Amino acid sequence: MPDQPLLVSALQLVDGLGGPPVQDAGVLAGTDGTITWAGPLTEVPALPENCRHITMPGTLLPGFIDTHVHLGLPGGGLNAAMLLIEPPPVRVLKIAAAMRATLEAGVTTVRDLGFLGPSLAKMATTGATPAPRLLNAIAMLSGTGGHGDFPLPHAIDQAELFRVLDLRLAVADGPTEVTKAVRELIRDGAQVIKVAASGGISTPADTPDDIGLTLEELRAAVEAAQGRGRTVAAHAIGTEGIALAVEAGVHSIEHGNGLTPGLADRMARQGTFLVPTLAVMEQTGDPAVMGHHAHAKAGRWREATEKALPTAIGAGVRIATGTDAGLGIRHGQNLSELSLLVQAGLSAMDAIVAGTRTAAEVCSLGDRIGTVEPGKLADLVVVAGDPLADITLLRDPANITLVVQEGRVVKHPESAH
Ligand SMILES: [Zn+2]
């Protein structure tokens, strides 16, 4: 809880609702960490006693949300061997640094969709390090040999390795095993369920054209998750995997490269979210970052995305920001996704809504975060300049000059390090 009320004022407020910005605006947050007032400064109410006032040049926005990260993966070049030989204390410190870099880039909430075990995820909630609010999937549920069940060198004892790295394997075949695996993940602290509905680009033993789980298995995952108040995020690149996941009623399609007009219409009708992860697709263009096998596989899917995004936008699919940060893309580069969404056809305002209000809905937190409105949690960001005029400003974390999380200032120009 913050120890004093806070008024942040800036040149303009973009509240995440998509309407025109408010000039010379302010946001008032109470000591309970929620927003009590937002609007033009000419209408600011009488300030509470002991109120801290921060005036910033630039644009005030809701804290951004990245609905697809992997804090347990290093970012930059993905080298599995490096991960295997890393001493556990180094891994802990790197994950703490990833959490901090993400928060200081203006991302106050993330959904981690695999490779972050329950013990390491606790770093984000115990105050051990500055960190975004975290919804954790723990692992990606996969069929045997699927995208979440990649082969390791024979000399490696997988059980021992996973124990040391605080990783979980969630491999299940058949609806009964899938149901059990979902329940086990929830028992261990999963707040969202990630499934591999298709094969992948970064794994050597499968391809995006492969189906990851059958329709019956996907339905079992959705039913088991919904029964305990969780949603299902489906990794789905190829058309067939997307089709099965949409049919099974998943909450969000991650990647969605092989989207067709028919599937886009269906997603729009059902309210299925699309998280296109353009940032990681951009990274697959560089064989040095993602590895040669991934580079070779990715080309066709990058081209597919160029068609899929306009199709999704035209059909009215709800699109949210997610980057795959940790896989190729570095932690803290999360907001590069907004520039890529604008390149794909969204307006700057719609990209901001994708990164705030819609992303909050993907996290099932639409009533708590994602917009600057009285009653919501005071997660706020100030960007130097006007992102509506130049969305690429968000690419550089140095342009994020103030970050407030539940009414507490967690990044301020005077505390820069
Ligand atoms: Zn991912």
Neighbours of 226 (CB within 10 A): 15
Tell me how far apart the alpha carbons of residues 314 and 317 are, in angstroms, rounded to a whole number.
8
Q: How far is the CA of 68 from the centre of ligand 1 (A)?
A: 6
**What integer pLDDT is reported at residue 258 of this predicted model?**
96
Q: Judging by beta carbons within 10 Å of its beta carbon (0-12, 13-18, 19+), is residue 413 exposed, middle or buried?
A: exposed
End-to-end CA distance of the chain: 24
Q: Please, are residues 143 and 203 in contact by the beta-carbon 8 Å criterion?
A: no
Sorted by where each starts, the structural domains of the chain and their CATH numbers stand as 6-62+370-415 (2.30.40.10), 64-362 (3.20.20.140)
Q: How far is the CA of 237 from the centre of ligand 1 (A)?
A: 11
Give 153's pLDDT tier (boundaries 50, 70, 90). confident
In single-letter form, the type of residue at position 227 comes to G
Strand locations in 50-160 (E): 52-55, 59-62, 64-69, 107-112, 133-136, 140-141
Q: How far is the CA of 324 from the centre of ligand 1 (A)?
A: 5
Q: How far is the CA of 305 from the centre of ligand 1 (A)?
A: 16
pLDDT tens per residue, range 179-195 = 999 999 999 999 999 99
Q: How far is the CA of 133 from the centre of ligand 1 (A)?
A: 18
**What integer pLDDT is reported at residue 255 of this predicted model?**
96
pLDDT tens per residue, range 337-346 = 999 999 999 9
| 381: phi then psi, degrees, rounded to nearest 5 | -135, 140
SS3 340: helix
Q: How far is the CA of 353 from the centre of ligand 1 (A)?
A: 21
Tell me how far apart the alpha carbons of residues 270 and 195 are, in angstroms, rounded to a whole number.
19
pLDDT tens per residue, range 367-399 = 999 999 999 999 999 999 999 999 999 999 999
Higher pLDDT, 221 or 300: 221
Own/partner contacts of 96-100, CB < 8 Å, gap of 24 or more, are 96/123, 96/128, 96/129, 96/131, 97/331, 98/71, 98/74, 98/325, 98/326, 98/331, 98/332, 99/71, 99/123, 99/124, 99/129, 99/130, 99/131, 99/132, 99/134, 99/331, 100/129, 100/130, 100/131
C-alpha dihedral sign at 280, 284, 290, 295: positive
Q: How far is the CA of 39 from the centre of ligand 1 (A)?
A: 37
Q: How far is the CA of 208 from the centre of ligand 1 (A)?
A: 13
Tell me how far apart the alpha carbons of residues 119 and 331 are, in angstroms, rounded to a whole number.
20
Q: Please say if the pLDDT value at position 332 is more than 90.
A: yes
Of 385, 319, 374, nearest to 59 by C-alpha is: 385
Q: How far is the CA of 328 from the centre of ligand 1 (A)?
A: 10
Q: How far is the CA of 235 from the centre of ligand 1 (A)?
A: 7
Q: How far is the CA of 202 from the centre of ligand 1 (A)?
A: 10
**The pair of three-digit structure tokens given for residue 57, joined into one six-digit string:** 């040049």
pLDDT tens per residue, range 260-307 = 999 999 999 999 999 999 998 877 777 766 666 777 778 888 888 889
Q: Please say if the pLDDT value at position 211 is more than 60.
A: yes
Three-point CA angle 252, 394, 191, nearest 5°: 30
SS3 35: strand
Q: Please say if the pLDDT value at position 417 is more than 50.
A: no
pLDDT tens per residue, range 160-183 = 888 888 889 999 999 999 999 999
Neighbours of 298 (CB within 10 A): 24
**The pair of three-digit structure tokens given for residue 158, joined into one six-digit string:** 């997988």
Q: How far is the CA of 70 from the centre of ligand 1 (A)?
A: 7
Q: How far is the CA of 92 from the centre of ligand 1 (A)?
A: 20
**What residues form DSSP beta bridges with 402?**
382
